[in-house]
């Protein structure tokens, strides 16, 4: 069989982003910027109570109004972004590292090790994150830390399973056989040849995961087993504003919208990366 009849341009299609893609990337960048620099620019008043001014509706002075402690809702969101997003990143990083390690060992090792690890992964898959979080909260006392640990412990199985499958497939590729014949060590084979060519799909997943993790962490905080008030974490903020839904809607809607927008933005980012990788998926 001859080489492709149309010698298409070897490089990927031009890196010109559509307006939609630019919007999503800008939004994510904006959220990350807030997470990193928010607390630096927020006024001190965010940390102090001012009961006299509590539950004020949105105004020129307070764009999203004030909460039950009189703190500016807008700036609290900005400050809370750091906790929320960094926790989400931490969770995803932790379970990814665990998942990648287990997948690599399973794919590289002997059959029996692979089987054992996959059975353990299956058990792990059966454990729902939120229930485990409740368990940890009961054991350690509810806190953001217990929620993060619980999510990290229950998040790795999916990564491990997906990645191990992909790695097994990549290992069938001719260039892997070529490296084996060259005498490349198992370690180098996995880290330099197999893993880099298997992570593509996972990067898409991880981008979206940051978004869903923000949502789950917020939910945990909302039911009281994650970050506790007076943390500015968005879920905790919603929890402490729960009683004021009908009287001061802005205290609930603002953080709620922040959670929603963030998780959607990261999800869309994942989609964009996926479409760019594989243009045949366009239109989904």
Partner 1 sequence: MLLKIDRICKSYAAFPNPPTRVLHEVSLSINHGEALGLVGESGSGKSTIAKCLLALTKPEEGSITYDGIDVIHAKGEDLRRFRREVQMVFQDPYGSLNPRMTAEELIGEGLLVHKLENGAQARRTRVAEMMEMVGLNPDDMDRYPRSFSGGQRQRIAIARALVIRPRILVCDEPVAALDVSVQAQVINLLQDMQRKLNLAIVFVAHDLAVVRHLCENIVVLHKGVVVERGTREEIFGNPQNAYTQALLAAVPVPDPAIGRARRAQRLAQTTN
Partner 2 sequence: MQIVHPMPAMPEPTPKYAPLVTTSGLTVDMPLGRDGNSVRIVDNIDFSIGVGERVALVGESGSGKSLTARALMRLDRLARLSGRIDFDGQDLLKLSEREMTRYRGSAIAMVFQDPMSFLDPLMTIGDQVAETLRIRGVGKAEARKRALAVLDELGVDRAAERLDAYPHEFSGGMRQRVVLAMALVGEPRLLIADEPTTALDVRVQDQVLDLLDDVSARRGLAVLFITHDLGVVAGFAERVMVMYSGRIVEDGEVEQVFAHPRHPYTRGLIKAVPRIDQDLHKLYAIPGAPPPPLARPSGCPFHPRCSESFDRCVSELPAVLNVGGERVACHLHDPLRV
Alpha helices (H) in the chain, listed in sequence order: 19-41, 73-108, 111-126, 129-140, 144-170, 174-182, 186-188, 200-222, 234-240, 250-277
CA–CA gap between residue 217 and residue 223 (Å, rounded): 10
Selection from partner 2, partner 1, none that 203 binds (CB < 5 to 8 A by kind) is: none
Q: Indicate the residue among 115 and 122 with the shorter CB distance to partner 1.
A: 115
Site for partner 1 in 185-204 (CB under 8 A): 185, 188, 192-193, 196-197
Q: Indicate the residue among 76 and 193 with the shorter CB distance to partner 1.
A: 193
Q: How far is CA 262 from CA 14, 148, 244, 270, in A?
A: 28, 18, 23, 12
Q: Indicate the residue among 179 and 261 with the shorter CB distance to partner 1.
A: 179
Q: How many CB atoms lie within 10 A of CB 192?
A: 13
Site for partner 1 in 158-187 (CB under 8 A): 173-175, 177-185
Site for partner 2 in 12-31 (CB under 8 A): 13-14, 16
Q: How many CB atoms lie within 10 A of CB 5?
A: 6
Shortest Å distance, C-beta 180 to partner 1: 7
Question: Is residue 11 part of the contact set for partner 1 (CB under 8 A)?
Answer: yes
Question: Is residue 279 part of the contact set for partner 1 (CB under 8 A)?
Answer: no
Q: Nearest to residue 213, comparing CAs of 159, 173, 279? A: 159
Shortest Å distance, C-beta 172 to partner 1: 10
User: 45-51: which pairs have CB atoms within 8 A and are 24 or more residues apart?
Assistant: 45/71, 45/72, 45/75, 46/71, 46/72, 46/75, 46/76, 46/79, 46/232, 47/71
Q: Indicate the residue among 8 and 40 with the shorter CB distance to partner 2.
A: 8
Counting residues that bind partner 2 (by CB under 8 A) gives 12
Does residue 143 come out as left (phi exceeding 0), alpha (psi in the -120 to 50 range) or beta? beta
CA–CA gap between residue 95 and residue 151 (Å, rounded): 8
Q: Indicate the residue among 4 and 183 with the shorter CB distance to partner 2.
A: 4
Question: Is residue 1 part of the contact set for partner 1 (CB under 8 A)?
Answer: yes
Selection from partner 2, partner 1, none that 13 binds (CB < 5 to 8 A by kind) is: partner 2
- Residues binding partner 2 (CB under 8 A): 1-9, 13-14, 16
Binding residues for partner 1, rule: CB under 8 A, are: 1-3, 7, 10-11, 173-175, 177-185, 188, 192-193, 196-197
């Amino acid at each position: 069989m001859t080489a492709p009849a149309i010698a298409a341009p070897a490089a990927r299609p031009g890196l010109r982003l559509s307006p939609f893609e630019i919007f999503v990337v800008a939004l994510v960048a904006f959220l990350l910027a807030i997470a990193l620099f928010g607390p630096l620019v927020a006024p001190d008043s965010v940390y102090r109570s001012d009961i006299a001014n509590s539950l004020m509706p949105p105004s020129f002075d307070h764009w999203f109004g004030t909460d039950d402690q009189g703190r500016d809702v807008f700036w609290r969101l900005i400050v809370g972004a750091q906790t929320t997003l960094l926790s989400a990143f931490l969770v995803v990083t932790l379970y990814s590292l665990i998942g990648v390690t287990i997948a690599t060992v399973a794919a590289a090792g002997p059959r029996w090790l692979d089987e054992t690890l996959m059975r353990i992964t299956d058990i792990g898959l059966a454990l729902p994150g939120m229930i485990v979080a409740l368990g940890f909260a009961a054991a350690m006392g509810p806190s953001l830390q217990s929620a993060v640990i619980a999510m990290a412990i229950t998040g790795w199985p999916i990564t491990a399973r997906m990645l191990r499958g992909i790695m097994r497939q990549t290992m069938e590729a001719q260039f892997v056989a070529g490296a084996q014949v060259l005498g490349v060590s198992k370690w180098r084979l996995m880290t330099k040849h197999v893993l880099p060519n298997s992570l593509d799909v996972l990067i898409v997943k991880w981008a979206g995961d940051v978004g869903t993790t923000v949502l789950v962490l917020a939910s945990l905080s909302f039911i009281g087993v994650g970050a506790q008030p007076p943390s500015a974490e968005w879920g905790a903020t919603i929890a402490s504003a729960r009683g004021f839904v009908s009287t001061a809607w802005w205290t609930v809607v603002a953080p709620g919208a922040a959670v929603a927008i963030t998780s959607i933005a990261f999800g869309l980012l994942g989609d964009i990366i996926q479409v760019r990788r594989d243009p045949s998926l366009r239109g989904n």
